[in-house]
Structure 1
Amino acid sequence: MLRFAHIELLWGLALIPVFVLLFAGVSRWKTKAVKSLGDRNVVNLMIPDVSFSRPWLKFILFSIAFAFLLIAAADPQIGSKMEEEKRKSADLMILLDVSNSMLSQDLAPNRLENAKRAIAQLIENLHGDRIGIIVFAGEAYVQMPITTDYSAAKLFLNTINTNMVPTQGTAIGTAIDLGMKSFDFKNGTGKAMIIITDGENHEDDAVAAAKNAAEKDVSVHVIGVGSPEGAPIPIFENGRQIGFHTDSAGKNVVSKLNEAMGKEIAAAGGGSYVRATNANSGLGIVMDQIYKIQRKTVDTKSFKDFEDRFQIFLAIAFLLLVIEFFISNRKSQRLSNLKLFEVKKT
């Protein structure tokens, strides 16, 4: 396995194309300056020892040496010893409701943003566990497959909004079924789903889907976001709120947290139900339950010992610089006098 101790230094390789453009520009300017002196043959007689190709050769050698020096500075390392270790791990799938009702503001700043902040904090505290994200409204989509790349997870999380699922609704059962298809049941890790929703399921049988997941040893936990009293659903246009959703009678539509539905889904899925508040997202409580029950010990292989290999690149760079140093900008008289293809007159 190859890795770099200071991989950020490799960004310096981007300077090489800049050097090439600058050197090409200077060379072109010199060529035009020589041409402006008069006839090329006459000019060549005036400066017989000047070589126009050797500077390019020296520049190429210098550029390659520069690249090898940067690689050496980045300290390439080769994994020399692989060890097997046991660790506890879990596969977590976050099922996040992105229906319009998640814009209600009974949690600050709204239900969706409150949930996203909690998920971001969860990602910060993960160590070795894998995480994936599914978004759902009237339909469900995999926003991010299960991964241990927590930086990518946070990037995907930041892009989530209520416009990414065109069909409105709250198809929790569909999201659970998609989550089951996303798991790798051969890797031996514990598996759990965390549904974050206001619980207004109108599309399918979420309880049956949760029960089916539990039968396959996947616990389904629910975090309810919102309040039983509810809040109106705002309408945004160009990033500005312009009003609230209304019914046929012109009254504001109030979205209420359906705790009964959330508790029923969690019970069927063998998980826990927690209601989120502004002070507590509930994810910490759910994760405690998952870590007690769902995390399983798995065998993993990893490189423990790494050996430095910068010496090889440093030696090559030094050799190229020595060669470049001893190459003169002047033409070789021996090569100039050696006229292999000239026909002697008799």
Structure 2
Amino acid sequence: MEYKSITMAAWAVLGALFWSIGFWKLLKRPEIYLPDKFIIRKLFIARALLFLIGISGWVYIGIAMTNPRIPAGVSKDKIEVRDIFFVVDVSASMLADDFKPNRLEVAKEKILDFINLRPTDRIGIITFSEKIFTLMPLSTDLKLLKQMVKEINTGFLGSGTNIGDAIGLAVARASSSMSKSKIIILLTDGVSNVGTMTPMQAAEEAQKNSVKVYTIAVGGDDNAKIPTGQDLYGNTTYRTIPGGSYDLNTLQEMAAITQAKAYVAADERTLASVMSEISKLEKSEVDTRGKIIYDEKFWYYLLVGVTLLFGVELIRKLILRESI
């Protein structure tokens, strides 16, 4: 038997102490008439036995709180996982209205759908515009990942499009992983125009580190408009996206160099389909063989302890007629 949290038994000791004090203070003379001799000999013995049974119940509860477990064998399984970095363009053009409500919000929605289907994968998020920001390192914390996706927004990383450095950072972070399957999913609607690395240099670096770069060109209208503010009457004003749309040739070459694929998502349905296809990529396996499997005994000890205490209190109330 192993005990994971021995110190937690202190709470059971404290509970037993307060229960013992209450047990002896609350003892009252039964409401039925009994000869004095019977009370002296029999009733005291009955109460003492009940007290010991109650203490036994607290002992079981104390053992339960230590989270007892018995080694039951050794795992022979493998868990399939992969490391995935989403690299998301957050330049102002991602607010274009050809997706509803805009390109970025739809992209976030599809990323969340993807995460929900990948409970064993390690997923990270990098956002970029002119500057690069690691919003979330590789993690399996789905709750935190979802929260971070919801925090993705435009307006705090400058006004350019720095695809090369964003991919370079994702490659650097993924290269230290032991996973055999390392994937970058790039979502962008622009042309790289700033940065120390070109997109092609970043793709070559990814290829050297066995990282696949799947590129998704987001947007279906070169003349899509982005909000710029409000006029004097409170109406939203718009302007056409500066510079047009994405550089599909570069995105295709990046994917080809890393033995991945390039996609064009012209609308929400197409983007969902692209994400679904990428989710079917070959997975790597994390070897868990040799890991000890335990038979957890928490509920057994807790059930016995609570049953004993409940029985004691029931006897005190219904048979000994004590006020509890």
Task: Spell out, residue by residue over 1:90-115, the C-alpha distance to the aligned partner (whole angstroms, 9 max, x if none).
Answer: 11111011111100011222111111
Deviates more, 1:172-181 or 1:314-323: 314-323
Code of the residue aligned with 2:285 in structure 1: it is: T
Task: Spell out, residue by residue over 1:125-165, the C-alpha distance to the aligned partner (whole angstroms, 9 max, x if none).
Answer: 114221111111111111111112222211111111113x3
SS of alignment partner, residue 142 of structure 1: strand
Query: Which residue is equivalent to 1:285?
Result: 277
CA contact (8 A) 2:88 2:127 kept: yes
Query: Which residue is equivalent to 1:190?
Result: 181
Write the distance in 2 (CA, Å) between the matches of 1:218 and 1:252.
32
CA contact (8 A) 2:126 2:136 kept: yes
Code of the residue aligned with 1:234 in structure 2: it is: P
Query: Which residue is equivalent to 1:48?
Result: none
Query: Which residue is equivalent to 2:34?
Result: none
| Equivalences for residues 162-311 of structure 1 within 5 A | 162-163=154-155, 165-183=156-174, 185-204=176-195, 205-227=198-220, 229-236=222-229, 242-245=236-239, 253=242, 255-276=244-265, 277-281=267-271, 282-288=274-280, 290-291=281-282, 295-300=283-288, 304-311=293-300
TM-score by length of 1: 0.62
Are positions 1:156 and 2:148 aligned together? Answer: yes
Query: What's the CA shift for 1:305?
Result: 4.3
Quote the RMSD (CA, aligned, Å).
3.7
CA contact (8 A) 2:83 2:179 kept: no
Write the distance in 2 (CA, Å) between the matches of 1:168 and 1:79.
58
Code of the residue aligned with 1:120 in structure 2: it is: L
Question: CA, structure 1 residues 80+272, in 2 after alignment: closer, same or farther (shift >3 Å)?
Answer: same
Question: CA, structure 1 residues 211+243, in 2 after alignment: closer, same or farther (shift >3 Å)?
Answer: same
Query: What's the CA shift for 1:218?
Result: 0.5
Code of the residue aligned with 1:222 in structure 2: it is: T
| Equivalences for residues 1-346 of structure 1 within 5 A | 78=69, 80-81=71-72, 82-163=74-155, 165-183=156-174, 185-204=176-195, 205-227=198-220, 229-236=222-229, 242-245=236-239, 253=242, 255-276=244-265, 277-281=267-271, 282-288=274-280, 290-291=281-282, 295-300=283-288, 304-313=293-302
Q: Unaligned regions of 5+ residues in structure 1, if any?
A: 4-12, 14-64, 246-250, 330-346
Query: Which residue is equivalent to 1:36?
Result: none
Question: CA, structure 1 residues 275+262, in 2 after alignment: closer, same or farther (shift >3 Å)?
Answer: same
Deviates more, 1:179-188 or 1:75-84: 75-84
Task: Spell out, residue by residue over 1:182-210, the C-alpha distance to the aligned partner (whole angstroms, 9 max, x if none).
Answer: 22535233101010001321113011111
SS of alignment partner, residue 87 of structure 2: strand
Query: What's the CA shift for 1:124?
Result: 1.6
What is the number of equivalent residue pairs in this alignment? 254
TM-score by length of 2: 0.66
Question: CA, structure 1 residues 241+317, in 2 after alignment: closer, same or farther (shift >3 Å)?
Answer: farther
Write the distance in 2 (CA, Å) between the matches of 1:193 and 1:79.
41
Query: Which residue is equivalent to 1:40?
Result: none
Question: CA, structure 1 residues 236+80, in 2 after alignment: closer, same or farther (shift >3 Å)?
Answer: farther
Write the distance in 2 (CA, Å) between the matches of 1:124 and 1:313.
34
Query: Which residue is equivalent to 2:22?
Result: none
CA contact (8 A) 2:175 2:209 kept: no
Q: Unaligned regions of 5+ residues in structure 2, if any?
A: 5-10, 12-57
Question: CA, structure 1 residues 95+320, in 2 after alignment: closer, same or farther (shift >3 Å)?
Answer: same
Write the distance in 1 (CA, Å) between the matches of 2:245 and 2:130.
18
Question: CA, structure 1 residues 207+79, in 2 after alignment: closer, same or farther (shift >3 Å)?
Answer: farther
Q: Percent identity?
A: 28
